[in-house]
Amino acid sequence: MKEITESLRREAARLLNEGVELFIGYAAGTRPACARPFFVTKPEEVTGLVFDPFCVPNLVKYILRHADKKVAVVVKGCDRAAVDRLVAERHLDRARITLVGVPCGGMLARERVLAELGPNPRIEAVEDRGPSFVLRVRGEERTFEKRKFLMEKCLGCTRNNPAGVDVMVGKEAPPVADPEYDPLKEIRAIEALPAAERAAFWEKVFGRCLRCYACREVCPACSCTECTFEQAVPGWQQGATWISKAKSLPDNYHYHLIRAFHVAGRCAGCAECERVCPVGIPLMLLNRKLAADIASLFGETEEDPCGALCVYSLADPDEFE
């Protein structure tokens, strides 16, 4: 991974010297086995950039906060589609954005790696050896088989080499998808439950939601400048807000189901919503279910940046007449 990091730093310095105002990449996190978004505005700052299998955050959401600048951003294959959708929805001007693609060998599940390494390991180097990552920790090599230690979203990934980028860093990565992985297996098991058990499952899941809105804040598809759930409605109109600020199961249902439909057909599948949830709500169950239903009803729309639910055509069948 050292070669990719060095190439990233060279490209970042070149782009900043050629007029890019902001380069968004990754830096080492303050915790072990963790990376954080890193914002570079000067060539001398590029030495802080890194890339390794802990660079999980989707950085595309941050472009929205700097849409008036010439921005370069590091994208993995799973992040790439979010850019096209934000451009298609006119949130971003593609001419102002330089996409710096990195071939991705998969992202390691931090919790499982730390369970093997123990608390506060000092990871000195990371090497991608195809079917496994090798971490050097305190001078010793520790091998992590991808099939066991990759994040779930990576096991079904078929686009780990981002397409349509402006700059590609590093060599093409071999496929990471596990042919035995079934992304709908858990969803089918839930659908097979009797109605009462299915309801109990979702009540237990949504009952622990704090409504901290971390899932919304990190999601590139949640791009509204003002969220309907937090509209400041003055005076007597406050009764018209969609949900109360108090935590309750009905309002938790209301929030999550409306948000799921809001991103249906627009979700890039980066799974950031699920990763940042502080209480571990499996939000990708909803997103994968809706993606499967949309594919069944409208065909595969992965290559269409607008998505199935963002396009209107007079030829669409109308079932309401």
Q: What is the pLDDT of residues 73-129, one digit of tens each?
A: 999 998 988 998 899 888 899 999 999 999 999 999 999 999 999 878 888 999 999
54-79 as b/e, with b when 16 or more CB fall inside 10 Å?
Answer: bbbbbbbbbbeebeeebbbbbbbbbb
Angle, alpha carbons 209-35-71 (nearest 5°): 100
Q: Let me know: does 36 contact 43? Beta carbons within 8 Å.
A: no
Mean pLDDT of 293-312: 71
277-293 as b/e, with b when 16 or more CB fall inside 10 Å?
Answer: beeebebbbbbbbbbee
Distances (CA, A) of 317 to 211, 296, 298, 310: 37, 15, 11, 15
Which helix (H) or strand (E) element contains residue 73?
strand 71-75
Q: Which residues contact 265 (CB under 8 A, 6 or more apart)?
A: 290, 291, 294, 301, 307, 308, 309, 310
**Total Cβ atoms within 10 A of residue 245:** 9
Mean pLDDT of 189-207: 95
Query: SS3 breakdown of the chain: % helix, strand, coil, rounded to 5?
Result: 40, 15, 45
pLDDT at site 218: 94
Give the residues across from 69 on adjacent strands.
Answer: none
Q: Which of 57, 94, 109, 49 is nearest to 78 (CA)?
A: 57
Q: How confident is the model at residue 315 (pLDDT cuts 50, 70, 90)?
A: confident
pLDDT at site 232: 65
**Spatial distance between the Cα atoms of 160 and 102, rounded to a whole number of angstroms:** 9
Q: Per-residue pLDDT for 321 more than 60?
A: no
Mean pLDDT of 210-218: 94
Residue with tokens 């451009």: 87
Residue with the larger pLDDT of the pair 19 and 232: 19
Distances (CA, A) of 45 to 16, 26, 82, 100, 141: 10, 12, 27, 17, 30
pTM: 0.86
Least confident window among 102-106, 165-169, 184-188, 316-320: 316-320
Give the type of residue at 107: M
DSSP states of 201-251: HHHHHHHT-----HHHHH-TT---SS-GGG----GGGGGGSSS-SS--HHH
Q: Per-residue pLDDT for 169 more than 90?
A: yes
